[in-house]
C-alpha cells in the first residue's frame, strides 16, 4: 500500500478558489466513501475538514468542499482567506481497518 498521491503545492489569491487532488486506487479512494481531508498548521494538531468524501464537521466553513470521481478525490477551498494557508492531507480507508494518508499539499495564499 502506497501513500495517496497529492500535488506538493497549490496556491491562489484571496477570494479565489483552489482545488487539491488526491489520487489512489480502486482498493482505497475508488473503493470506499471513507475519504477525509485534514488541515495542518505547523506546530498544531491536524484538523478534520471533510469526511466521507463530502461531509463537513460542524464548525468547518462551507468554503471547504469535497468530491470524488473514480480513484481521485478532491478538496476545493472557495473564497480563499489568509488563514487557509496550511498543509492539507487526504486520507482514505483501504480495507482491513487500514488507513492511508496522502503526501500532503502545501497551500499558499498569495
> What track of x and - describes contact with another protein for positions 21 through 60 (by CB under 8 A)?
-------------x-x-x-x----xxxx--xx----x---
Q: Which of 17, 70, 81, 98 binds another protein (CB under 8 A)?
A: 98
Q: What angle do CA 78, 83, 85 make, to 5 degrees?
A: 80
Q: Is 97 one of the binding residues for another protein (CB under 8 A)?
A: yes
CA dist., res. 53 & res. 106, Å (int) = 20
Number of residues that bind another protein (CB under 8 A): 27
Which secondary-structure segment (H or E) carries 67?
A: strand 64-69
Q: Are 28 and 70 in contact (CB under 8 A)?
A: no
Residues 6+ apart with CB under 8 A from 99: 91, 92, 93
Q: Counting contacts by CB under 8 A, is residue 66 touching another protein?
A: no
Give whichever of 13 and 43 is closer to another protein, judged by the CB atom.
43
Question: How far is 78 from 81, CA to CA, in rounded Å?
Answer: 9
Judged by beta carbon, residue 50 or residue 77, the one nearer another protein is 50
Q: Which residues bind another protein (CB under 8 A)?
A: 1, 3, 34, 36, 38, 40, 45-48, 51-52, 57, 87, 89, 91-93, 96-104
Amino acid at each position: 500500500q502506497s501513500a495517496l498521491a497529492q500535488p506538493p503545492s497549490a496556491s491562489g489569491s484571496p477570494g479565489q478558489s483552489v482545488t487539491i487532488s488526491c489520487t489512489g486506487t480502486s482498493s482505497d479512494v475508488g473503493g470506499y466513501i471513507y475519504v477525509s481531508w485534514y488541515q495542518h498548521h505547523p506546530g498544531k494538531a491536524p484538523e478534520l475538514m471533510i469526511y466521507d468524501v463530502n461531509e463537513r464537521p460542524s464548525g468547518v466553513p462551507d468554503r471547504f468542499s469535497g468530491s470524488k470521481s473514480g480513484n481521485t478525490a478532491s478538496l476545493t477551498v472557495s473564497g480563499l482567506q489568509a488563514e487557509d494557508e496550511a498543509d492539507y492531507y487526504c486520507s482514505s480507508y483501504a480495507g482491513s481497518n487500514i488507513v492511508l494518508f496522502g503526501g500532503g499539499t502545501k497551500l499558499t495564499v498569495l
